[in-house]
Amino acid sequence: MWSGKNVLLGITGGIAAYKTTFLVRLLIKAGANVKIILTPSASSFVSPLTLATLSKNPVVTDFEKTEAHTTDWNNHVELGLWADFMVIAPATANTMSKMANGACDNLLLATYLSAKCPVFFAPAMDLDMYRHPSTVASIEKLQSFGNVMIPATSGELASGLHGEGRMAEPEEIIAHIHKHLLAGLPLSGIKVLITAGPTYEAIDPVRFIGNHSSGLMGFELAKTAANLGAEVYLVSGPTHLTVDNNAIHLIKVVSADEMYDRVHDHFSDADIVICAAAVADYRPKTMAEQKIKKSDENLELALVKNKDILLSLGEAKKQQYLVGFALETENELENAKEKLKRKNLDAIVLNSLMDKGAGFGGDSNKITFIDTNSNIETFELKTKAAVAKDIFNEIIKRRYA
């Protein structure tokens, strides 16, 4: 959710400003792009140089740019439009009062008034200031505008008093924003189970039967589902790909039998299940305990059939919306429809090795989405990231629209 998002952080003149160094660090680590505006007094509490170093962006404090020999200015409108969301932390009583009443005497306030994005604010002040009717009125007014408050917590305050008014910790601010943003997403509260990658079926300790699947399609599906608010369980065969989203639980397997077991571990309470893995149909009947030495001109392997994961899920299906993949080389549409019916799927994604740029190993794919009502949607060649979005758009239209 945070990856690639533009976060505009406004820091005001309160002692809690020192915590923003940790907040910036967490945002950057989560993959966000961060720009920072300091009010004139905020730099007394936290160093612009430190914040610029952590955010990898210049910190701005005033309308006038400070570079020598320039007449340029910091454009508050441009900053407001750049942001996907704005966070004001700490939000002092002074700044909240100005925000609530439309005062505009510094760059941060001008940017706030120009922002089109969601605005989150984290109050921070002493106990009596936090409880004062004017502060309470400012907070209520800001919330009535659609701004989202990250509540202050209780604890020891700068005055030595103990009570409500401490700014939420950086981890709490991140979690609060994350929870709020999830609540408005179409797959919030939905569990999605996805399989990805190849399986490797061991011949001996060093050799295996496998295929050319990179796992990219399944991983892009997992990223898309997480960005739509879902909790994702990604069961993946061997691949170099990684995940960096806490909403994706990566479960690594090697063989088809392992994938079968892990998928069934999570199937019963899943809402959407997409089987995008290229599972080996057969495995060696026995695995040699030692490396097979090269001797004869020919080597014969006895193969046995692996359990059909997708078929077993179709037989056990209750509330799940089950989607399979069909990679075909001939009679594509007929074969995909037959597989859809035989395995009791809700939909199937067809791609053909005959289409240039589609299939294993590449960054693109060309798909046709077919559901049980014989509704067919065909898409042009796209990146697998874009294909993943198309697939979930089709699922959401049919399941949650």
The residues annotated with a catalytic role in the active site are 211
Query: How far does Cα 347 stand from its chain's mean position?
Result: 24
Q: Both tokens of residue 168?
A: 């939420």
Of 272, 252, 243, the residue nearest 199 (C-alpha): 252
Residues 6 or more apart in contact with residue 107 via CB below 8 angstroms: 37, 60, 61, 62, 63, 74, 76
Q: What's the first-to-final CA gap in the chain, in angstroms?
A: 22
Report the b/e string of 342-351 with b at 16+ CB within 10 A: ebbbbbbbbb
What would the two tokens of residue 326 be?
Answer: 């069909």
Distance CA 224, CA 385 (A): 8
Q: Which residues contact 364 (CB under 8 A, 6 or more apart)?
A: 357, 358, 381, 382, 383, 384, 387
Q: Is the peptide bond before 123 cis (omega within 30 degrees of 0)?
A: no
Classify the phi-psi angles of 35: left when phi > 0, otherwise alpha if psi is within -120 to 50, otherwise beta: beta
User: Distance of CA 307 to CAs 239, 281, 285, 383, Å?
Assistant: 22, 8, 13, 31
